[in-house]
Chains A and B, each alone.
Chain A
Amino acid sequence: MIELRNCTKRFGEHTVLNGINLRFEAGSVTAVLGPNGSGKTTLMKTILGLVRPESGEMFIEGESVLGGAEYRNVIGYMPQIARFQDNLTARELIAMIRDIRENPPGSREEELCAMFDLAPHLGKQLKTLSGGTRQKVNAVLAFMFNPQILMLDEPTAGLDPIAASTFKDLVLAEREAGRMILLTSHIMSEVHELADTIVFLLEGNVYFQGASAELLANTGENTLERAIARLLQEKNHSAAFELKNLKTQHFSA
């Protein structure tokens, strides 16, 4: 169980997390949604300790962990498509992470490599691997130590449909095993398929938090995509206008 209390993060003038309070429970999949720049990645990075919030607290199983390093022993993280320019091979990278996490409990590396059909690629240098293959390697790294908490940032981006489907099965199996799973995705069908709970972030605030069914019911829509669109429409005009601006900027950049 993770709990965030009053977490605030600013990048210069821009407030990315605005005193956020959130709880994530074991045995559930939570999808963090929101438009670009709403703070999804920052939220994940805050939990991971990659980003240091200005204020607020974070507890894992009731223990304050912000600023520490040990707590990441229970977290598996799958970053957005990473561009490793490194000369290590996939096998060496896996070995290295295993080496760094001293005495990891029961490693599943072989099972996972077989699952994603990675065997032919393990001896290749990371920089020569395709995006999808690297993403599979990342999946292995995230899941191999049976972590209590899984953080998955756009996990299926770049995966082919077969691998994506394998991956989703894996996530559901982990939920059954009682893990706490946090996920961001742009693919609403995937969110619908996997997520029990949805956290909708907008301009650094939690705009909605609840079960996905609840969201559908509240908005009266029958797909998540439409429900989200409705959420955005409901937001007051000025905010919507800002958001539109933000999006325009994003595309023109």
Chain B
Amino acid sequence: MKTIIKLTRYGIISAARSRWILGYTAFFFLASEGLMRFGGDTSKAVASLLNVVLLLIPLVSIVIGTMTVYNNRDFTELLLSQPLKRGSLFAGQYLGLALPLTAAYLLGVGVPLLARMGSTDSVTNAGLVLMLLASGTALTHIFTALALVVATRYDDRAFGLGAALLLWLMAAALYDGIMLAVIWTFRDYPLEMPVLAMSILNPIDLARTLVMLKFDVAALMGYTGAVFEKFFGTALGMSAAASALLFWVLAPFGLGMKIFAKKDF
């Protein structure tokens, strides 16, 4: 445990000095600041940010994650030649990536949004912002874990990057395409529950749904919205959502750890 903390700390120091993380933070900061300044109220800014967050966080986390693992390959070997357990090294590697990415996101988006959460903003808006921050954090952790799986599994850098992008595309768009096809094919049937199930299974869809339900957008969705709101309003629904997100962190993390433990360097 102590070793994991040490490794994480060095990962954070290293990440904090890199240009990409500065750029990533700056991008989120400028986007949120701009939207807050010129876009009007918090809920509008969050609506616009949601698109960016859902697109960019998974993409950046998985690409940066994969690239960092490849770039640190020699460094990892050096660390492996030290009296370290592989599990600690893997966990340190994961946290050293996921935590700076999360911090960058929380700083970039959280500061402009929360700084303006004055007395004028309602509790609803606070809930909205917190949900946006929480979902972004979850997505960061999930896609960092996926990045580690890909980069650990495939030694070929180009192939790994391709696989990472494919994975991102699957979660960000292809899955929704399949969902849309299912909805269209079975349009004569009541689909609220299947759609609910499908949107829980994909972390990007789940994150989007959770934030959207915090908007008053749920009203647009009529009966579907009511079903969704009712489901996610219950302790069961929220714990299902939380478990799904947690699953998407732990499953790739566990898989990556397993591959890492057996891997030849």
Q: A residues near B, CB below 8 A?
A: 9, 11, 45, 48-52, 69-73, 75, 77, 79, 82-88, 92, 96-97, 99-102, 125, 138, 141, 151
Q: Which of A51, A72, A86, A138 contacts B82 (CB 8 A)?
A: A72
Interface of B is mostly: helix
Q: Please indicate the chain A residues that have their CB under 8 angstroms from the CB of B81 in the complex.
A: 48-50, 72, 75, 77, 79, 151
Taking a contact as CB atoms under 8 Å apart, the answer to whether B83 and A69 are in contact is: yes
* Docked pose: A83 CA to B157 CA in angstroms: 15
Q: Please indicate the chain B residues that have their CB under 8 angstroms from the CB of A82 in the complex.
A: 74-75, 77-78
Q: Please indicate the chain A residues that have their CB under 8 angstroms from the CB of B83 in the complex.
A: 69-73, 100-101
Taking a contact as CB atoms under 8 Å apart, the answer to whether B84 and A45 are in contact is: no
* Docked pose: A92 CA to B72 CA in angstroms: 16
* Docked pose: A82 CA to B27 CA in angstroms: 33
* Docked pose: A45 CA to B264 CA in angstroms: 9
Q: Please indicate the chain A residues that have their CB under 8 angstroms from the CB of B71 in the complex.
A: 85-86
Q: A48-B81, A92-B13 are in contact. List 5 more A-B contacts (CB 8 A).
A: A72-B83, A82-B78, A88-B10, A100-B7, A100-B82
A79, A87, A97, A125: residue with the most chain B Cβ atoms closer than 10 Å: A87
Taking a contact as CB atoms under 8 Å apart, the answer to whether B72 and A79 are in contact is: no
Total A-B contacts with CB atoms under 8 angstroms apart: 80
Taking a contact as CB atoms under 8 Å apart, the answer to whether A100 and B84 are in contact is: yes
Taking a contact as CB atoms under 8 Å apart, the answer to whether A84 and B74 are in contact is: yes
Interface residues of B toward A: which range? Answer: 20 to 34
Q: B residues near A, CB below 8 A?
A: 2-3, 6-7, 10, 13-15, 17-18, 71-72, 74-75, 77-86, 262, 264-265
Taking a contact as CB atoms under 8 Å apart, the answer to whether A86 and B72 are in contact is: yes
Q: Please indicate the chain B residues that have their CB under 8 angstroms from the CB of A125 in the complex.
A: 17
Closest to B82 in A: A100
Closest to A42 in B: B264
Given contacts A49-B80, A69-B83, contact A86 B75 (CB under 8 A): yes
Given contacts A82-B74, A101-B82, contact A45 B265 (CB under 8 A): yes
Chain B: minimal CB distance from A137 (Å) = 10
Closest to B79 in A: A100
* Docked pose: A166 CA to B83 CA in angstroms: 27
* Docked pose: A138 CA to B74 CA in angstroms: 12
Q: Please indicate the chain A residues that have their CB under 8 angstroms from the CB of B10 in the complex.
A: 88, 92, 96
Given contacts A48-B81, A70-B83, A75-B81, contact A11 B75 (CB under 8 A): no
18 A-B pairs (CB sep. < 8 Å): A45-B265, A50-B81, A51-B264, A51-B265, A69-B85, A72-B81, A72-B83, A79-B74, A79-B81, A84-B75, A86-B72, A87-B14, A87-B18, A88-B10, A92-B10, A100-B3, A125-B17, A151-B81
Q: Which of B13, B18, B85, B264 contacts A52 (CB 8 A)?
A: B264
Q: Please indicate the chain A residues that have their CB under 8 angstroms from the CB of B17 in the complex.
A: 87, 125
Closest to B87 in A: A69
